[in-house]
Amino acid sequence: MNKATRIWTGILCTILLWGCGSSEEKTPPTFFHLESIRIGGVEEAPSYHHLDPSLMVTLLFSEPVDPATMDANITLQHSSSEMVKLHFASDQSTLRLEAVNRLMPFNDYRLEIHNGLKSLSGSRIVTGKVYPLTTGLDSTDKFPRIPDKELLTLVQRHTFRYFWELTHPVSGMARERSSSGNTVTTGGTGFGVMAIIVAVERAFITREEALQQVQKIVSFLDLKATRHHGAFAHWIHGETGETIPFSTYDDGADLVETALLMQGLLTARQYFNRTSTEENNLRETITRLWEAVEWNWFHKGEQQVLYWHWSPTYGWQMNLPITGWNESLIVYLLAAASPTYPISRELYDRGWAQGGNMTNNATYYGYQLPLGPPQGGPLFFAHYSFLGIRPEGLQDSYADYWEQNRNHALVNYRHCVVNPNDYYGYGEDCWGLTASDGTKGYSAHSPTNDRGVIAPTAALSSMPYTPVESMKALRFFYYKLGDRIWTEYGFTDAFNLSERWFADQQLAINQGPIILMIENHRSGLLWDLLMNDTEVKRGLAQLGFQWLNHAATIELQERSSRVESNN
């Protein structure tokens, strides 16, 4: 055999030996594959969001899976790297898995199928898979269910604590927010004074305790707080009484905040009506503060409108006229009611009502809005001026104010139900857009400025207008989100379920309307007090308003009592 023959013979033998080796060597490995996946009811997605924490996953493979390879090769890991224990149940090629314990809501997880997974026939998975998961709302109740009547009282009691336990120790005034230290708020204090009255009637505190606290506030305002033509600043230092600038040019009088304060003080003047020396002195001090406000000075000379701000340093630099429609109707009502510095009907018609141009009469979601910006604006427009002014039966030449406020709340509600921006969580149980903290800071949230931020005060303070819708929201906030937003001082300010954000503070101007408007829904207490003030009634008449007479008010009270007993 020559050399060439030997070479070719060797090559041929090598080929034959390679082809004639063991069966394991010549048979390529076999694979099976994942045909479909369903996570939380959703099939095949790059990632899965807002999943129910009771996670259910269904996997369909091309072959039955070997149970011995499941635990090590199908894993669920929390973002903290902690592994989640899984339970598996298989039926032929279908594999179902769930977490042994409920996952944490609003958290990130990672479901992985590793390439070590094998089928019963010994085939290996063709490739690994990774699925990012985020959990959403845990729909289980966080607290035991109680009757709605008890729930309303519970919310009022806890919310009141903001105005009782977190008030400034020197002035007694309400802090701007729960973390504000020495910064107290004028309008929020007016809300707090009214909340104290509710607390007496609901037996949270005694009348004597309430009187002492209101005396403390009123004395501080009378003797220490800086005033500008009788009006107070938006923010005041709780120890010294000095003005704290709200912004660069806003370091003086704030007429809107002053009106919100006076609304509360005049309500207290009506409530503390006994002939004791203490209550007599309280009424006299409130009257002195009330009569010192130079309402008609704030029309800036010859202007036919009231102005929001005046600064002893910058004068009228802010240059913000108070025109409708917004939260400021109470300014013109009290200015007209003033026994010392009243405004004219003309200033109301030409300034606030803009000669009639504040009317809207547009229809949204089937509801006509007599006044206001498109879709009504933030819901606090329907609250602040109506904490003491009863909107039922209240009319002037521009609007029926019950229709205005009720339809405003219903437009806001319908917007959240329709949810045109597709925010997670919005619906019949979760609604309410108003000014509040948010993921992008404080903003006046509304249907036209919807950032996915729900503020409990929006729906809860609308209780008189939308009792059914507001009660559903209250149940949701308390039972479903209570582990996130419920505290000893009531609900935190706001939340955004789409971005898994929850405020950790309360704001006085949002806490106050909750307790007050729930009370007006239940008993009409605050409406009855302020609407019986002689000067307030004179102011309403001066501006051309009509309102319910005494008999109609009694009928509404009886109706509210029936609703209360049913709740």
Q: Identify the CATH number of the domain in which residue 117 sits.
A: 2.60.40.1220
pLDDT at 566 (0 to 100):
58
- Do 44 and 167 have their domain in common? no
- Do 153 and 127 have their domain in common? no
Indicate whether 9 belongs to any domain.
Answer: no
- Do 119 and 198 have their domain in common? no
Domain count, the chain: 2
pLDDT at 563 (0 to 100):
56
Tens-digit pLDDT profile for residues 89-134: 999 999 999 999 999 999 999 999 999 999 999 999 999 999 999 9
Indicate whether 491 belongs to any domain.
Answer: yes
Indicate whether 12 belongs to any domain.
Answer: no
- Do 74 and 207 have their domain in common? no
Q: Which domain holds residue 92?
A: 34-135
- Do 269 and 243 have their domain in common? yes
pLDDT at 24 (0 to 100):
46
Determine the Cα–Cα distance for residues 19 and 369; give it in Å rounded to an integer.
87
User: Which one of 112, 135, 158 terminates a domain?
Assistant: 135
- Under a CB-based contact definition with an 8 Å cutoff, are residues 209 and 174 in contact? no
pLDDT at 550 (0 to 100):
61
CATH no. for residue 282?
1.50.10.140
Determine the Cα–Cα distance for residues 158 and 359; give it in Å rounded to an integer.
38
pLDDT at 22 (0 to 100):
43
pLDDT at 301 (0 to 100):
82
pLDDT at 344 (0 to 100):
95
- Do 261 and 404 have their domain in common? yes
Indicate whether 20 belongs to any domain.
Answer: no
- Do 128 and 216 have their domain in common? no
DSSP 228: B
Find the distance separating the first CA and the last CA of the chain, reported in whole Å. 110
- Under a CB-based contact definition with an 8 Å cutoff, are residues 269 and 258 in contact? no
Indicate whether 141 belongs to any domain.
Answer: no
DSSP 446: B
User: Which one of 104, 135, 166 terminates a domain?
Assistant: 135
pLDDT at 559 (0 to 100):
65
pLDDT along the chain (567 residues), means of 10: 47 40 58 93 86 95 96 96 96 95 96 95 93 95 98 98 98 97 98 98 98 98 98 98 97 98 98 98 98 96 93 96 98 98 97 95 97 97 98 97 98 98 98 97 98 98 98 98 98 98 98 98 98 98 90 66 58
- The conformational region for residue 201 under phi > 0 = left, psi -120 to 50 = alpha, else beta, is alpha
What's the pTM value of the predicted model, to 2 decimals?
A: 0.91
pLDDT at 25 (0 to 100):
52
pLDDT at 7 (0 to 100):
41
- Do 556 and 448 have their domain in common? yes
- Under a CB-based contact definition with an 8 Å cutoff, are residues 174 and 167 in contact? yes
- Do 271 and 340 have their domain in common? yes
- Do 46 and 159 have their domain in common? no
The rounded percent of the chain whose pLDDT value lies above 70 is 92
